[in-house]
Chains A and B, each alone.
Chain A
Amino acid sequence: MTDPSQTPSTPPRKGPSKLARREERTAAWLLVPSLVIILLIAIYPLGQVFFESFREREFASSEPGRFVGLQNYQQLLSMTIRELPLELDANGQPVIEDGELQYESWVRVLPREPMRYRAVTEFGLFGNRYVLGATESDFILAVWDTLVFTVVAVFWETVLGMIIALALTARFFGRGAMRAAMLVPWAVITAVSARIWEWMLQPTRAGLFNTVGSALGISDGRTNFFGDVALQLPSMIVMDVWKTTPFMALLLLAGLSTIPKELYEAARVDGANPIRQYFSITLPLLAPTLVVALIFRTLDSLRVFDIFQVVLGNQRYSMASYAQSMLINVRDVGLSSAASVIIFVLIFAFAVGYIRAFGVNQE
């Protein structure tokens, strides 16, 4: 016997109501445009880069490319370590210059077949001298330089950003103006600010730093900030810290404003000094904001392109400017795409690492 109340038209009690199902369908339809856009502007190009990274093709050429498997990755990532023999003179005795033993050049030591290796760096260990070789030494150097750049720049941005944010939470005359002024470096287009810094860091006294330095007697007015290998990375880092500290400060400032004032009042009543207050209240409550800010800045720094491209051009690369140079100067789509994929993977690893390490709330 059928119960009249259980006719097919009545929905089962536990399932979603007809209305709810209709709303779900509507929601799905409303999501379609966003999904299509993501598919078009994110997934498609990403997929194409992956696809090209397994092929060999000349940029801007009608010649069809060909599939080469993992060859591009192999070329980018192959590394080896060899010991450098001592340089011997005609009598078989070691050559000594300025009281130091001389070693053979890496050109004669690193393998040439089936792929040629070039030196990335040389180092001494237990009295021997070794060379680290890579088939694309420029890329390995670019990865290393980018990592150093990221760690040092983000560290200083965080420290300085925190100091500025704390200063700007205090009530004082002209705070609004100060907050606005603080943001100026962040608002300047990077290609423009890179050019400004390029002028300020000129290797002659036409540049601000050399003029001031020589007036104060701390330099000869000829410090070559962008040409001297030892000063290139520090110069890049200073430019980046100047530019992005405001961003860090802004995020932290927003985080600070969410901390209830009552906590500080209570702390004062309990007799906690400002330093204690900072470590017991400010820092723990600011932690989620800080982590988000760190993730933002780290991922951003890892794909740094503009300042390296504008200032150093083909002299020294970041990972991203290396990929660009491979595409434009060498016209090698495959190698450039493979480099881009590696950058993508590295950035992804950093993001996951941060989320794991700081246990960022998934919700």
Chain B
Amino acid sequence: MKKAVIAFALVTALGWGSAQTITVASGTVGQELELTTNAVERYRELNPGVDVQIATTGDLVEDRLGYYLQVFEAQSDEIDVLQIDVIWPGDLEEHLVDLNQYGAEAVADQHFDAIIENNTVDGKLLGIPWFTDAGLLYYRTDLLEKYGFDGPPATWTELTSMAETIQEGERAEGNQDFWGFVWQGNAYEGLTCDALEWLDSNNAGTIISPDGVITVNNDAAVATLELAASWVGTISPNGVTNFAEEDARNMWQAGNAAFMRNWPYAYSLGNAEDSAIAGQFDVSPLPAGEGGAPAATLGGWQLGVSKYSDDVAGAADLALFLASYEEQKIRAIEGSLNPTIKALYEDEDVLAANPFFGSLFDVFTNATARPSTATAPNYSAVSRAFYTSVHSVLTGQEDADVALEILELDLEALTGFPTGDPQ
């Protein structure tokens, strides 16, 4: 009954965008929706006069951005508070409100400087950081022990051979559906994140350097993509080229994979009661390439307020509440979503729930940014060209060297930047 009421309220709120309600657009990956619903409930108790609704958005980043763009194009007040990706502030600048004018200035210095800087365009703070993300390697501690490995792999080559050994062993014991390594290989933003980690950890650059040089077409990148393509059908399922985060997590959490590349949110879900692998896995930094250092793509989400909202002040108040110390603490403990507030990494309750927040602190603070600042407002198109190209290599439609040569031409046409070697 309650669900029906919420559903009805949601429909009406979406339909008419009534002036008295504040609608927050939230992600639905893993526990996100549940966490947001609970937080909104707490906000309602503190502010009895305010009606808050939640609009759900698609799992794929592209779908979410598409929804927002349609709302912005129509200058609709349908959504007031939006969950925006770390790569969007540059692209969405003109539609978002400067939160510094609504009380964010007082709390901004609690958050990581790098994220605040990322979210600030022309002196305007377009999003209050909500949670941060970095790519991690999940590995099965029980299986590593069983097959005599001391710890997680340090290099991609090591990962490849460990995955082969474990996969062969598990299949011989009867689990024909077991795979060595699962990750995100569908043609979408997630593949850009994964592939950026492969490149950067092999000293093959970050597609486009921060000072605007196209560096993606180099020998190290070719070799890296060839290695990744060799995984498909050997240590990774053929279907990995259709995987997003949740596909990889489902296979991993069913106990059918030895390694997984994913974001921190999968940690608490993997230890939940209904998980087949609870207590049998750990996380580590992703492997490095030969002669490179590990790299993790910086992800994370902010809360922005739409310029077309009926009640900008109310919406900003809700955004600041959702991103506050207490709320981020709850999200960290219940959902293993990384806080953006520095002090929370010293909070005992948070560290007890997620020991890796402490041990992998450097991974989160030194994550590799996607080239969204250098390429704004064309980042989406740049990323689309990149993941399409990588996808064509993974599916074997194009050779890595040819694909990167084409990609370089595409990026030149898109951005007008010069080409060069990664530093």
Contact = CB atoms under 8 A, between A and B. Distances in A.
A pairs with B: yes
Interface stretch (A19-27, A91-99, A197-205): A197-205
Nearest to B387: A314
Given A105-B402, A315-B391, A329-B62, A224 B380 contact: no
A203 B188 CA distance: 19
B186 A315 contact: yes
B278 interface: no
Interface string B364-384: 000000000000010011001
Contact of A328 (B62, B388, B397): B62
Interface string B235-269: 00111011000000001000000000000000000
A221 B176 contact: yes
Given A60-B72, A204-B239, A313 B187 contact: yes
Interface size class of A (residues with CB under 8 A): 20 to 34
B194 to A, nearest CB: 15
B255 to A, nearest CB: 13
A228 B397 CA distance: 10
Interface string A53-80: 0000011111000000000000000000
A226 interface: yes
Contact of A315 (B72, B187, B409): B187
Contacts of B60: 313
Contacts of B177: 204-206, 221
A118 interface: yes
Given A315-B187, A329-B381, A330-B381, A228 B238 contact: yes
Nearest to A330: B381
Given A105-B402, A107-B406, A221-B176, A60 B69 contact: yes
The dominant DSSP class at the A interface is loop
B395 A229 contact: yes
Interface string B409-423: 100010000000000
B402 A314 contact: no
A105 B401 CA distance: 10
A295 to B, nearest CB: 31
Nearest to A207: B239
A313 B402 CA distance: 24
A204 B381 CA distance: 32
Interface of B: 60, 62, 65-66, 69-70, 72-73, 94-95, 176-177, 186-188, 233, 237-239, 241-242, 251, 377, 380-381, 384, 387-388, 391, 395, 397, 399, 402, 405-406, 409, 413
24 contacts: A59-B69, A60-B70, A60-B72, A60-B95, A61-B377, A105-B399, A107-B405, A107-B409, A203-B237, A221-B176, A222-B233, A223-B238, A224-B239, A227-B239, A229-B395, A313-B62, A314-B188, A328-B65, A329-B66, A329-B380, A329-B381, A329-B384, A330-B380, A331-B380
Given A107-B406, A204-B251, A331-B381, 6 more contacts: A60-B73, A203-B237, A204-B237, A205-B176, A314-B187, A329-B62
**Which 9 A-B residue pairings sit nearest by Cβ, starting from the closest?**
A203-B239, A328-B66, A224-B238, A60-B73, A60-B69, A60-B72, A314-B187, A227-B241, A105-B402
